[in-house]
Structure 1
Amino acid sequence: MNATRTLATAGRVLNQIRHDPRTVLLLLVVPSLLIGLVAWIFTDTDTFSVIGPAMLALFPFIVMFLVTSITTLRERRTGTLERLLSMPLGRADFILGYTLAFALLAIVQTLIAVAYAVWVCGLDIKGNIWLLVAVALADAILGTTLGLFVSAFARTEFQVVQFMPALIFPQILLGGIFIARDQLPDALHIISDWLPLSHAIDALNAVANDTHDAAYVGGELLIIGAFALAAIIGGSLTLQRRTA
């Protein structure tokens, strides 16, 4: 692993995305628009104040997962990755470069989404708003790393989308959005404890409602970070040079 090569990879990715307005729009604007739509649907009710923090976890997570996985897959399909790896660039440099590039984009995305949810949609945050930003950012980076990991097993963009019912939808259903996790059947509650999105939603709810201290939220951040690190390692080990 080489820091110079990792930074060069991140710079190349950011430069590519800069010339793709649709991807920029999807990354930076669409999550906020979806959060705004949910707030609009539940106008004149208290529902958005209940599910709003979970939306800060859900939409950026899904968008980062899709964009990262499809972008990485295209690198393989076009032969770009094969050419890069024939140079002194290692797989870890490639994965970390992508993670860094999308993490920088996730910072901007998170700041926009949180600001929009709080100051435009009226989401009430009782805890530290910067702690909320930190959790939302960790969640978006988690989506990035899972996208990098999944891209190693897909051959087409359609196959990337097929991973959503297997990998993303169960996390949405068991993450506490539709029903509190402590009200789930015991077996499903245990499963949900092993799903990273559950911990992101729990942490965001804890900050928004100020029901737990910073130590609890820090513990949840460590769990999210552990899942992200595992995905980075897994992506480095399974990354293929090209799609057959």
Structure 2
Amino acid sequence: MSSVTRGGNPGEVHRASGRFSGKRLITISRRVLLQLRHDRLFLALSLLAPVIMVLFLKIFFDSMKGPGFVVSRFIVPMGAFLIHFFTYILCAIALVRERSHETLSRMFVNGFRRGEIILGFLLAYSLLATLQSLIVLVLLGWLFELSYAFEIYASIYLVIWLLAVISVALGIFLSNFAHSEAQMIPTIPLVILPSVFLSGIIVAVDKLPDWVQPISRISPLYYANNALQKLILPNGSLGDDLSSIAGLLAYGLIVLTLGSLTLKERD
């Protein structure tokens, strides 16, 4: 958009960067959403990939049915993991692409502040994450015939949505240290695999070695899984584990702050 790419004189840039502007934040979000709309292949894959993976989950868990295996313990948390996985990857790669195309540099030249850029991208990609979270939860409920009450579904969606937004913020933060997509790709297994192993989805955290248990707190999936495990219990509610919800919110605030502080004007 012209408001992002058009240059200006130094005086105008200094005045524009003096205080936070919601208008500039919306400008960035609109630009990102327009770019997503025009990149139809990226958008289609972003929405289709979670559908395909949920179908694979159905095949996998159907083959695991048997005495002693409680499928409900894994279904919703694994859905949360998928959202964490896709939102992190898509946002991180997209941000690196913006940097390699020097879009971020032009934003700084035109007076956009770090906080406006971070929150603008977060708002735009959070809208995409909102759709992904809804698609995954609806498919899980349909394919696995989940029979939770509406308020439980709403609470589950809230937790998964929070995780999605935080995963976007995490992707923004870590993309600040990469200059190209090739440099960003190695962070995917380094972030995603420890997340699922340390979250408690596969093995309860208290069964891990004592020195590993504190490390699990560095993953947002740990807090999301704790909250979801309480929600899917009989008579569960969002208030059963407010500390995990608070942990998610605190994690998101910390990552956003770090993302803003580490965003560089030029590589």
TM-score (norm 1): 0.92
- 2:266 and 2:52 map into 1 onto residues whose CA distance is 35
The 8 Å contact of residues 50 and 83 in structure 2, kept in 1 or not, is answered as yes
The 8 Å contact of residues 49 and 124 in structure 1, kept in 2 or not, is answered as no
- 1:242 and 1:124 map into 2 onto residues whose CA distance is 51
**Residue by residue, what CA displacement relative to the aligned partner does 1:41-67 show, whole Å, maximum 9, x if unpaired?**
221615542211121211111111111
How has the CA–CA distance of structure 1 residues 241 and 225 changed in structure 2, closer, same or farther, with 3 Å as cutoff?
A: same
How has the CA–CA distance of structure 1 residues 193 and 236 changed in structure 2, closer, same or farther, with 3 Å as cutoff?
A: closer
| Identity score, percent | 30
TM-score (norm 2): 0.84
- 2:234 and 2:216 map into 1 onto residues whose CA distance is 22
Question: Is the counterpart of residue 102 in structure 1 residue 102 in structure 2?
Answer: no
**Offset, 1:225:** 1.5
- Larger RCO (alpha carbons 8 Å, 6+ apart): 1
- Selected match of 1:23 from 39, 42, 54: 42
Paired letter, 1:34: M
How has the CA–CA distance of structure 1 residues 77 and 196 changed in structure 2, closer, same or farther, with 3 Å as cutoff?
A: same
Aligned residues between the structures: 243
Corresponding residue of 2:13: none
**Is there any run of 5+ residues in structure 1 with no aligned partner, and where?**
none
CA RMSD of aligned residues (A): 1.9
- Selected match of 2:168 from 133, 137, 144: 144
Corresponding residue of 2:78: 55
How has the CA–CA distance of structure 1 residues 216 and 158 changed in structure 2, closer, same or farther, with 3 Å as cutoff?
A: farther
Corresponding residue of 1:185: 209
Corresponding residue of 2:238: 214
**Residue by residue, what CA displacement relative to the aligned partner does 1:157-216 show, whole Å, maximum 9, x if unpaired?**
122121123322212111112211222222222221343211111112221224654223
**Offset, 1:219:** 3.0
**Is there any run of 5+ residues in structure 2 with no aligned partner, and where?**
1-19
Secondary structure at the counterpart of residue 35 of structure 1: helix
- 2:58 and 2:243 map into 1 onto residues whose CA distance is 29
The 8 Å contact of residues 132 and 207 in structure 1, kept in 2 or not, is answered as yes
